[in-house]
Every structure is written in structure tokens, then in C-alpha cells.
Amino acid sequence: MQKLKEIIVVEGKDDTVRVKQAIDADTIETNGSVINETTIEQIRLAQEQRGVIIFTDPDYPGERIRKIISERVPGCKHAFLPRQEAIAKKGKGLGVEHASIEAIRQALRAVQQETIDISEEIAKEDLLEAGLIGDARSKERREKLGVILRIGYTNGKQLHKRLNMFQIKKSTFLQAVLQVLQEEKE
């Protein structure tokens, strides 16, 4: 097995153990959502030397950690695990450490790169027209869209930012929205 070039940022030791069962990679652990300066500096150095993939739990603390790192260390890559892939077998717990080896590998194969090019930006009006904001079923639709596009679950404001940050093409976005709407009809 070839070693992954980038260093994977995870939340804790159990995540590291699980990731290393799936792939040969180095990790940096944040040890929770209170990320200290030393950890930020380690991540910054890792980003400069080898690149970083942020791979946090699909929950509020995981998204908070992702946001803090993204703001402090620009240009990171992101791997997202769908919530249903991260639920513990007995239903108590949610996180990378509970995911199957294949789910982790799949999330790492579908890594998204943070970029800042607004040539084909998706507008908030597009989200409104697609029923992803301002509709009774918006939350459910965003959740499904996040799985299809492999960008994780977001609220409406985060979705707009994430679609553009990862430069999801408008055609890809519209195709995914159609898939979500078709699944609703079934």
C-alpha cells in the first residue's frame, strides 16, 4: 500500500486508528474543538510541506473544527463522511472512528480542494429555486445533496459558501438537485 502524500487532520486518537486501518497515512489530531496555536502551526507546516486533508466528524463540533482550520490555514483539502456512514453500530456515537474501512477510503478518494475562483459561482437564488433554502424540505434536500456532491451536510449559508469554495460546477449542482428531487418523488 502506497503512503498518502497529504497529512490527514482528524479529531482524536480513535479517528487516527481507524484511518490507519483504511490507508497508510500520517495524521494530526486536534484533540477536540478547542484547537491550540501549536496544533494550528503543525497543520500550517503540514500544509506547506505535504498538503492537508481535513477529515472531521459529520457533526457540529467536526464542522466547527473544519471551519477554524480552513480560516487559519487556507488551501486545505476536505474529505467528508456522510452521517449515515459514521453512526456507531449500536447507535451510540457518530464519527470517523465508527465508519467502515471502505467508507473512509471512499471519502478520501472524493477529496474536495478549497479554491477561490468565482467564474461559475452558484448564486443564493439558485439555492432558493432548487428548494435548498426557504422550503419545508430544505434541510432534508441539503442533506441528500451533500451526500451526492460529497461536500457534507450544511445549513443554507454554509452550502452556498461550500459549493463555491469547492468550485462545484453549476451543471454538476443542477444535476445533483435533479437527483434529489427525483428521489423525493419515488
User: Which domain range does residue 67 map to?
Assistant: 7-113
Q: Domain ends where: 67, 86, 113?
A: 113
Say if residue 95 is in the same domain as residue 142: no
Per the CB < 8 A criterion, the answer to whether 43 and 37 are in contact is no
Question: Could you say which residues of the chain have pLDDT below 70?
Answer: 1-2, 114-120
Say if residue 102 is in the same domain as residue 132: no
Beta-carbon contacts of 6 under 8 Å, excluding residues fewer than 6 positions away, are: 25, 50, 51, 52, 53, 77
Say if residue 11 is in the same domain as residue 77: yes
Say if residue 97 is in the same domain as residue 138: no
Instruction: Confirm whether 48 is domain-assigned.
Output: yes
Cα–Cα dist 146/168, whole Å: 12
* pLDDT tens digits along 110-147: 887 765 555 567 888 899 999 999 999 999 999 999 98
Beta-carbon contacts of 55 under 8 Å, excluding residues fewer than 6 positions away, are: 8, 9, 10, 15, 19, 78, 79, 81, 96, 107, 108
Global confidence as pTM: 0.69
Instruction: Look at the chain and count its residues.
Output: 186
| pLDDT value, residue 166 | 80
| pLDDT value, residue 27 | 95
Q: Domain ends where: 75, 91, 113?
A: 113
| pLDDT value, residue 68 | 92
Q: Which residue in this structure is represented by grid cell 427525483? A: 182
| pLDDT value, residue 86 | 87
Instruction: Confirm whether 119 is domain-assigned.
Output: no
Q: Could you tell me which of 36, 18, 80 has the C-alpha nearest to residue 55?
A: 80
| pLDDT value, residue 96 | 93
| pLDDT value, residue 114 | 63
Domain total of the chain: 2
Cα–Cα dist 80/107, whole Å: 6
